[in-house]
Structure 1
Amino acid sequence: MKKINRYSRCRTWSMALLLSVLAVGCGGGGGGRDPILGVGGVASTLTPPPGAIIPGAVCSAAAGPTIPAVTTSDPTSGNQFVPTSTNGVAGGGKVVNATFSLAMNPSTINGTTFQLAPTGGAVLPASVSYNAATKAATLTTSSALLANTSYTAVISGTVTSSPGTPLGCSYAWSFKTVSTPTTGLAPVNLGSAAPFAIAATAGVTNTLTPPNTRINGNAVLNPNATCNAVTVDNTGGFGLCGGAAPTINGIVVTPSYPDTTTANAVQADLRAAFLSITPPAGPPAAGSLGGGTPIAAPTGMGAVTGSALVFGQNLFYPGVYNSGTSIMVGNDLTLDAQGNPNAVFVFQSASTVGSAAGAASPGTHTRILLINGAKASNVWWQAGTSATLGTSSEWQGNILASASVTMNTGATSCGRLLAGAFTAGAFVFDSNVVSVPGNVNAPATCQ
């Protein structure tokens, strides 16, 4: 009988233990914590460890030549202009990279030690890998990030170098995605205005300073078809132009050439294209492209040649960017298509678009640099008023200006410069080159 009682008590205790384990494992007890997913059966909230520092910062807890550190990250900490996805990643996912100072132990770099989440939110599903050649860890999300959202990345201090030395500190950094998702931005439709390198509604002025201005593409002058205040002839050229006609590899369309309808049709398509990249609030009128990421005022863009690339300053990814004032490009500005040759960039200015004056080559002057597949044909600048390119500037992209366009001495543009898109606008030249990207007479690099 004693054996039976002892067996019964043992079985009762065992059942109680089993039930308690099942209760915890199924979310019962422990505040409803799932051992895999966390509280309430959802992914755990990502919280930066105490004392975590941003990549590149000095770890005061432990530092030295044998102690690994995270030196850089992409996106960088504090970046407010991060694309929501990375081109070529399955499912539209986003890649986040962290580079270490030393060779690391790959087995310690995984989905537990390198994580990403909306700031204050749940950890995102992602794969994590390590490249020994570059000493970089890569986190790739399974889908695109949300637009206009802050995210936090964390690398645990338990990650170790190849010899087994742990990081001196944990690392945590935050960034914010652009307001408009950067995938799927449609090309701008110029309609019948596509072959035109320049447009003006209030005439053209050309200063005959060698070398003479060259236009690679058509020109439309409507309704004021004058060049240096001289009426353009009806043969498809600029005519006498006061003895200073620009060289054009194309035709000049006027209210009466080649017929009485073409110029108006081109002008109508130009206006439609202009409004298609204008914000809903304008100016100068309500457009249809909203959601642009604000560019912080003052809206000077670019940095001295050789400067580190900083998102939102001298580096921009595909997307829509909006300035409530003006846009002025100075020194070097880099546009990175991230390997997507169809990537579209749109810059909206409530006022003017322009570039700073510089010295002729090999001197320092404003340059727009296109990398990783970026093309001038896919870059668009919307000017709520006028546009002015400074002396010797090397411009890239198409400018659609509500009013006038001025090219100062020696400025060049791989991109259409279309004045008078909404109101009266003149065009001023002075020893310039302007090309429709891909035009047979354009420089080979102008695409």
Structure 2
Amino acid sequence: MPHNSYYQVKQMKAFDTNPKHLVWPLVAAISLGLTGCGSDSKNRTAPTTDGTTDGTTTEGSPTVASTGPADKMVDVALNTMVVATFNNAIDADSISSAGFTLAAAGLTDETGTVTVDTATNTASFDPTSNLVGDSVYTATISTDVKSLEGIAMDNNYVWTFTTGLIVDVTPPAVASTDAADQDTDVSTNRNVSVVFSEKMNPATINSTTFTLTGPAGAVPGVVSYPGTTAQFNPDQDLDLSTQYTATITTGAEDLAANALAASFVWSFTTGTTPAMGPAPVNLGTAGNYVILAKTMISTTGTTKIIGDIAISPAAETFITGFSQARDSSGTFATTPSDILTGRIYAADMTPPTPAILTTAISDMEIAFTDAASRTTPDYTELGAGDVSGQVLEPGLYKWGTSLLMTSAVTLNGDANDVWIFQIAQDLTVENGVDLILAGGALAKNIFWQVGGAVSLGTTSDFDGIILSQTAIVVKTGATLNGRALAQSAVTLDANAVTAPAL
């Protein structure tokens, strides 16, 4: 059975009761270093953006990698704590009530307890009392904060969120795992990961709450928590043909201090060979959608999509050509099955949809930055940006230019092998060009990180997860077996778009 990276259990938390707000995405890209275990276990990369005003930092200065709640999130629970995770270790004595503040216009500045969890490089602000409903709060990490070497942040890091009207008492849930429960032939040199239904308190995601055991007992490793995804990176490759059991305990809590209702336990069995290529990019909750965009999703002609599609922060009116109608719950829309087999979600739908989409957009941006920040490529500037007719083995590929395909390209590898393509500018697949998967290669393990626009030519046949910083244009009659995840628009014209097989 192939390694199942995106087994989904869509059990999303509903604590949003205020339908008037739109969701806005995380404006700062969040970086993480996802690497395989074994020989690659220490190749962790630092964030590439940091919330400063000019996008640059002094070498060694602390930068904020992620926040909870996310920037511009709405309908946040009144009993939330506020957290900021840094890219590297900080001096715990340098952050206090002066270095981490929370305030809302027209209200008295919040008082609370500021703590630092050195294991996760996370600072937490726990308000003394519940926040005020329907208010815009501004959280600030000041330049008082220093690294262990005494280097201060270059600029204040500021983000905002809007509270809803209720107190959150709903336990978080596990949305998916990789490997999936009872999976077999799992690669011996990959991380084990779990996607939560919402952002968690990073200080509660650690080697105590996330464990892996085998026949010899506990497996030593490092736990990290970017976005909504927790990862266990074993210190050494796992044993061949061996059953392992992973556990998330009830010590894992969300930002409102709600613990999992019960420990979550799953098992898997390794295969006989390690996977080739880099560790896969974890999509988090963005992996719930076959198409996810921020500004527009449009289609003309006879389009057939299998999977859910979503847009945020734009409203449903920016989804055109689907003839959709909202469900009676108001949380999603449907359309005739000859157009879409799945659901349509937008930022102006009834809660909890807005909050869920905020998280998905954040996870999409995290995935993009992760893919972009992988280091030590196996191939650099291959074909001077033209790989037409080539056979590409698993690995990390990097181009500082655009990438062009004018004739068929073949990806040759087995079901666990991974390809990541880092493309600084545009990706252009000419009309009628096919991407051929050979040797058992799977679309779910192919990642196209594109800094510019993506154009799939007419009647072309393409595979993989597209992470585009701008637009994805799928021209007349083209086929995509994968996901189109765009930080602007996705445009379709009589296409077949199918979520990748698991």
TM-score (norm 1): 0.46
Which has the higher Rg, Structure 1 or Structure 2? 1
TM-score (norm 2): 0.41
Relative to its length, the structure with more strand (as a share) is: 2
